[in-house]
Structure 1
Amino acid sequence: MSVRSARKPWKPLTAAFASAALVTTLVACSSTKSSGGSGTDVELVSSGKLKTCTHLPYAPFQFRKGKEIVGFDVDLVDLIAKDLDVTQEIVDTPFEGIQSGEDLNASKCDLAAAGMTITPVRDKNLDFSNSYFEATQALLVKKGKGYDALSDLKGKKLGVQQATTGEEYAKKHAKGAKTVQFEDLGLLLTAVKTGQVDAGINDNGVLYDYVKKNPDTEVTAEFDTGEKYGVGVRTGNDALRKQINKSLKKAKADGRYDKIYKKWFGKEPTR
């Protein structure tokens, strides 16, 4: 792995503040590259770091545990960072900026790993790696409420997380329900648990993880949406996208992917 900085030529400045201006110019023009496991230069936002945009909390994919940020996605991106001989640094940012591609375009991060479903709309905003996880939408309710389908929620409040596939599914299929939007998953889950809403819709992986720790809630339905998660990169960043695919393929082949999957979901993935 090689890391180097490229600087543009400069001309001497005669103003009194020339020295400060020169430092600013050099910092702004610097870039870092890592050869990585693909043998192709991968441009990184910061030297020695692989910056990951995500939106917390989204357990078990990424969430805070004490002073650390841990999770399934975190462990997978650590494998990519290791192949690039750098360290992962997580940037917590609103999901809208992730799925729109704005954070990647603004060099806020190198990649986005946020339990993010590959969709045609998102695919126009950023480029995705090969899929690394299969998901579907599910319904979370307070135990014993008897809401077993979206049709049971007519006239009721259905919590959704903004800018997610769950929100889109609810808009299309929860006829007669009043959708209540929440900025993040944590607020949505709390709203279901405390009765602010009658039910919540989100990805099955995070809801099943929640009910394990909150037995007064339950998942009563799943909806076959056939979703697949992908790691996002800035449009056109083929070198990093190919490196991600290579790292994920290697991890699946040598058993590390299965080990990480079992760590966070209690079982190995079905093939």
Structure 2
Amino acid sequence: MPSTSARLLAPAVAVGLLVVGGCADSGTSAPAATAEGGVPLVAEGTLTLCTNPPYEPFEFAGEDGEVQGLDIDVVEEVATDLGVDLSVVISPFEGIQSGQDLDTEKCDVVASAITITDERAAKIDFSEPYFDADQGLLVPQGSGLSDVDSLEGATIGVQQATTGETWAQENELEVVQFEDLGLQVAALETGQVDAVVNDVAVLGPFVAEGYEVAANFSTGEQYGLGVRKGNVELLEAVDATLDRIREDGTYDAIYTEWVGVSPAEG
């Protein structure tokens, strides 16, 4: 497992064809480029994805510096079905979950372990859910922090604009915002915060670094892929791919590779 500093990435990384379409002034007009079946894209021959690493196992830098993970592999399947290459653009999570990146045609699809919520669904169109998720508590081993009551008076690191932040605020915890998971864990390492709250599926890799996942808070959350509001053609293509990879076993293989267990065991 790489150190926290090794997870920090450059502003943009591309997978496959290194082509990213220029951003439009607004999201009111559909992109001119198209893929198979007339699906509109921001760049010819390329499905452009916005994501926000480091967020292992969903999106993070591999040894070669390129972004990899469960989300990347799932969207790669969408690109394959469309007959195009995949280009990955790193973007702040706020621009992803707010729909701004899609509206400005920075990308065609967003995938960054995005929990489906009514507020987000008002700004972006979500695919079918593809991953079930809960919130988790990451703390130094032996900290004694293990539930909501024990967190009273503690400082909790949360990721900005995430459901983990919302959960902590709803439980009236003292929070400090960070832009990404890597910065959260760095703050925990330096003692800036006492604990970190984020999706439990991404906290496991840090156990080997002297931390423990001390609690799992069941929230019933589900992740979805997002497209620009009204981009019906692309949304239908994404859902068709999700249906295919569930039926032919591809999703189970992707899940097992990155999570370490099969979906049935997870």
Give your verdict on TM over 0.5. yes
Match of 1:91 among 89, 92, 97: 89
Distance between the aligned counterparts of 1:30 and 1:227, measured in 2?
Answer: 31
Aligned equivalent of 2:101: 103
Is the CA contact 2:33–2:44 (under 8 Å) kept in the aligned structure 1? Answer: yes
Divergent runs of 4+, >6 A: none
Which structure has the larger Rg? 1
SS in 1 for 2:120: helix
Match of 2:59 among 59, 62, 65: 62
Q: CA deviation at 1:209?
A: 2.8
Superposed, 1:42-53 pairs within 5 Å as 42-53=39-50
Match of 2:73 among 54, 67, 75: 75
Query: CA 1:199–1:238 in structure 2 vs 1: closer, same or farther (change >3 Å)?
Result: same
One-letter amino acid matched to 1:187: L
Distance between the aligned counterparts of 2:95 and 2:67, measured in 1?
Answer: 20
SS in 1 for 2:122: helix
Q: CA deviation at 1:114?
A: 0.5
Q: Residue by residue, what CA displacement relative to the aligned partner does 1:184-216 show, whole Å, maximum 9, x if unpaired?
A: 1100012123322110100010012332x32x1
Distance between the aligned counterparts of 2:218 and 2:246, measured in 1?
Answer: 25
* Unmatched segments (≥5 aa) in structure 2: 1-28
Distance between the aligned counterparts of 1:110 and 1:81, measured in 2?
Answer: 11
Is the CA contact 2:34–2:45 (under 8 Å) kept in the aligned structure 1? Answer: no
TM-score normalised by length of structure 1? 0.84
Is the CA contact 2:136–2:216 (under 8 Å) kept in the aligned structure 1? Answer: yes
Is the CA contact 1:193–1:217 (under 8 Å) kept in the aligned structure 2? Answer: no
Aligned equivalent of 1:196: 192
Query: CA 1:201–1:29 in structure 2 vs 1: closer, same or farther (change >3 Å)?
Result: closer
Aligned equivalent of 1:210: 206
Q: CA deviation at 1:54?
A: 0.7
Q: CA deviation at 1:33?
A: 1.1
Distance between the aligned counterparts of 1:30 and 1:69, measured in 2?
Answer: 25
Q: CA deviation at 1:30?
A: 7.7
Aligned equivalent of 1:149: 147
Distance between the aligned counterparts of 2:30 and 2:53, measured in 1?
Answer: 31
Q: Residue by residue, what CA displacement relative to the aligned partner does 1:50-104 show, whole Å, maximum 9, x if unpaired?
A: 0001112111100111321100000111110000111110111111111111110
Query: CA 1:29–1:113 in structure 2 vs 1: closer, same or farther (change >3 Å)?
Result: closer
Distance between the aligned counterparts of 2:251 and 2:142, measured in 1?
Answer: 37
Distance between the aligned counterparts of 2:156 and 2:181, measured in 1?
Answer: 13
Aligned equivalent of 2:182: 186
Distance between the aligned counterparts of 2:116 and 2:159, measured in 1?
Answer: 17
Q: CA deviation at 1:178?
A: 1.9
Aligned equivalent of 2:34: 33
Q: CA deviation at 1:150?
A: 1.9
Is the CA contact 2:31–2:105 (under 8 Å) kept in the aligned structure 1? Answer: no
Distance between the aligned counterparts of 1:83 and 1:71, measured in 2?
Answer: 19
Aligned equivalent of 1:221: 215
Distance between the aligned counterparts of 2:148 and 2:203, measured in 1?
Answer: 16
Is the CA contact 2:135–2:216 (under 8 Å) kept in the aligned structure 1? Answer: yes
Distance between the aligned counterparts of 2:56 and 2:177, measured in 1?
Answer: 19
Is the CA contact 1:148–1:221 (under 8 Å) kept in the aligned structure 2? Answer: yes
Is the CA contact 1:55–1:114 (under 8 Å) kept in the aligned structure 2? Answer: yes
Is the CA contact 1:63–1:69 (under 8 Å) kept in the aligned structure 2? Answer: yes
Deviates more, 1:217-226 or 1:148-157: 148-157
Residue 252 of structure 2 corresponds to residue 258 of structure 1:
yes
One-letter amino acid matched to 2:47: L
TM-score normalised by length of structure 2? 0.86
Q: CA deviation at 1:119?
A: 0.3
Superposed, 1:229-240 pairs within 5 Å as 229-240=223-234
